[in-house]
Amino acid sequence: MLSKASTERRLLQGNEACALAALAAGCRFYAGYPITPSSEIAEHMARRLPETGGVFVQMEDEIASICACIGASLGGVKAMTATSGPGFSLMQENLGYAALCEVPVVIVDVQRVGPSTGMPTLPAQGDVMQARWGTHGDHPVVVLAPAGVADTYRLTVAAFNISERLRLPVVLLSDEVVAHMREMVEIEPSEVVDRAAPGEDPATYRPFRAGPDGVPVLAAPGRGYRFHVTGLYHGEDGFVTNDPKEAERLIHRLARKVALHQDWLTLAEEHHLDDARVAVFAYGSPARAALRAVRDARAAGLPAGLFKAETIWPFPAERISQLARQVRAILVPEMNLGQLVGEVERAAAGRCRVVPLAKVGGELYTPGEISAVLKDL
């Protein structure tokens, strides 16, 4: 459905945009624990959720926070929590629970410098692999990475829509700069996806029986549907199974329900790539400096382009493979020692040179730093 709110132009902070977008997407439950640099999300939700009939709870820690969100979602309410790297680590076991039990929930991780306490007020991109593989076992995941305030608003709505449509946890991977910058944002009516309701007789309902799209229909409580939820491997009826074949079918289906929808899940922006001979692959706040560097390179007569990834998991391997056939090199600036550059190398498969550009001191890239490497390439 489309929201009835009129388009408006507002000066917003990134974390504020995240909270407003969550409300627009239908979030009515937030449980969280304050942690820099995500705390403003909780502050805004604490003020705004009661105005919409929603519930805000400050929990005792991050483990309790994600557990409360899972419970609220199983109760039929769209739910979200927000944290930063150390808290995100604490959430991992229950993120895996949500993935296996197919519970829609949105987790915002505003990245800061780590490991450990690190530098809480400075940006980094050190949680990229944690977002994909932090919980144990094979599991489905979708991770979105905004590069600015408008991106944060749009991708927060997308996170809820994906989570509800595919019945899985979705991570919004922001960073300190994106979270705390302020920009003018055009807020337009958003398409909002609500989870499908079962149409069959409660007597024949199976909570984990998937349709052609690989996604089971989740019943809300109080509608006559009774079902069992367990973090153990389970059959279509939700009850525990130790049958290896049934367990394998379950895990393959969880992976397949993301793979089947990868086309519309893969969100990205492309700039000047049609005739590019050198490309930049960037995500999050480094993409801002990368775009300026590409424009400066173009002004100097250098055929550079930018692939700005907004969905980083599932990784856009097919598009990067195509790009590697076109360009002679792909530059990958990351605020880590190299996490997605390995995925770029795998997708490029030796068709072009892949060049990492790492930065881990808590400072943003300048366009000049990226431009200098582009000139060498």
3-state secondary structure string across 272-311: CCCCCCEEEEECCCHHHHHHHHHHHHHHCCCCEEEEEECE
Sheet with 304-309, edge to edge strand ranges: 268-271, 304-309, 278-282, 329-334, 353-358
Find the radius of gyration of the CA atoms of the chain: 21
Contact 360, 113 (CB under 8 A): yes
**300 and 165 in one domain?**
no
* 169-175: strand order across its sheet: 55-58, 29-32, 79-83, 105-111, 169-175, 142-144, 311-313
Whether residue 123 sits in one domain with residue 17 = yes
Handedness of CA 10, 15, 16, 19 (dihedral sign): positive
Residue 231 belongs to some domain of the structure:
no
> pLDDT per residue over 255-302, tens digit each?
999 999 999 999 999 999 999 999 999 999 999 999 999 999 999 999
Could you tell me if 144 and 52 lie in one domain? yes
User: Does some domain include residue 232?
Assistant: no
What pLDDT was estimated at residue 1?
36
Are 180 and 298 in a shared domain? no
> Per-residue pLDDT for 2 more than 90?
no
222 pLDDT band, cuts 50/70/90, is confident
Instruction: Give residue 220's pLDDT band: very low, low, confident or very high (50, 70, 90).
Output: confident
CA 368 to chain CA centroid, nearest Å: 29
Structure tokens at 267: 């969100």
Which amino acid, one-letter code, is at 92? Answer: Q
Mean per-residue pLDDT of the chain: 96
Kindly state whether residues 42 and 173 are assigned to the same domain. yes
Any idea what the CATH number is for the domain that residue 276 is in?
Answer: 3.40.50.920
Q: Which two tokens stand for residue 340?
A: 């997605």
Cα-to-chain-centroid distance, residue 203: 36
- The residues, any chain, with a CB within 8 Å of residue 118's CB and separated by 6 or more, are 85, 112, 124
Instruction: Kindly report the CATH number assigned to the domain that includes residue 62.
Output: 3.40.50.970
Identify the domain boundary among 122, 155, 187.
187
Query: How is residue 49 written in tokens?
Result: 């959720």
Return the structure tokens found at 207. Answer: 């909570």
Q: How many residues does the chain have?
A: 377
Percent residues over pLDDT 90 in the chain: 94
Are 178 and 276 contained in the same domain?
A: no
- What is the rounded distance in angstroms from the CA atom of residue 269 to the CA atom of residue 31? 32
* Phi and psi at residue 240, to the nearest 5°: -60, 140
Q: Is 209 inside any structural domain? A: no
Question: Is residue 246 in a domain?
Answer: no
Q: Are residues 182 and 274 in the same domain?
A: no
Q: Got the DSSP string for 7-48? A: PEEEEEEHHHHHHHHHHHTT--EEEE---TTTHHHHHHHHHH
**pLDDT, average across residues 157-172:** 98
Tally the domains of the chain.
2
Mark which of 170, 187, 204 sits at the end of a domain: 187
Residue 85: which residues within 8 A CB-CB, separation 6 or more? Answer: 109, 111, 112, 114, 115, 118, 124, 126, 127, 130
In this prediction, residue 7 has a pLDDT band, given cuts at 50, 70 and 90, of confident
Q: What is the DSSP letter of 49?
A: G
Residue 3 has pLDDT above 50, yes or no: no
- Indicate if the alpha-carbon torsion angle 355, 359, 364, 368 is positive or negative: negative
- The range of the structural domain enclosing residue 18 comes to 8-187
pLDDT in tens, 48-78: 999 999 999 999 999 999 999 999 999 999 9
Residue 155 shares a structural domain with residue 274: no
- Whether 177 and 274 map to the same domain: the answer is no
CA 254, CA 257: separation in Å to the nearest integer?
Answer: 6
Q: Is pLDDT of 349 > 60?
A: yes
> What pLDDT does 119 receive?
96
The mean per-residue pLDDT over the stretch 235-249 comes to: 96
| pLDDT at position 190 | 86
Is the domain of 52 the same as that of 165? Answer: yes
Does any domain span residue 103? Answer: yes
Q: Does the residue 305 lie in any domain?
A: yes
- Tell me, yes or no, whether 40 and 181 share the same domain: yes
Last residue within a domain, chosen from 122, 152, 187: 187
Task: Judge whether residue 4 has pLDDT over 80.
Answer: no
3-state secondary structure of 131: helix
Co-location of 180 and 281 in the same domain: no
| C-alpha distance from residue 209 to each of 142, 206, 227, 235, 255 (Å) | 21, 5, 12, 8, 15
Tokens describing residue 2: 């489309």
- The answer to whether residue 193 is domain-embedded is no
Cα separation, 273 vs 309, in Å, equals 13
Does 126 map to a domain? Answer: yes
Helix (H) or strand (E) holding 105: strand 105-111
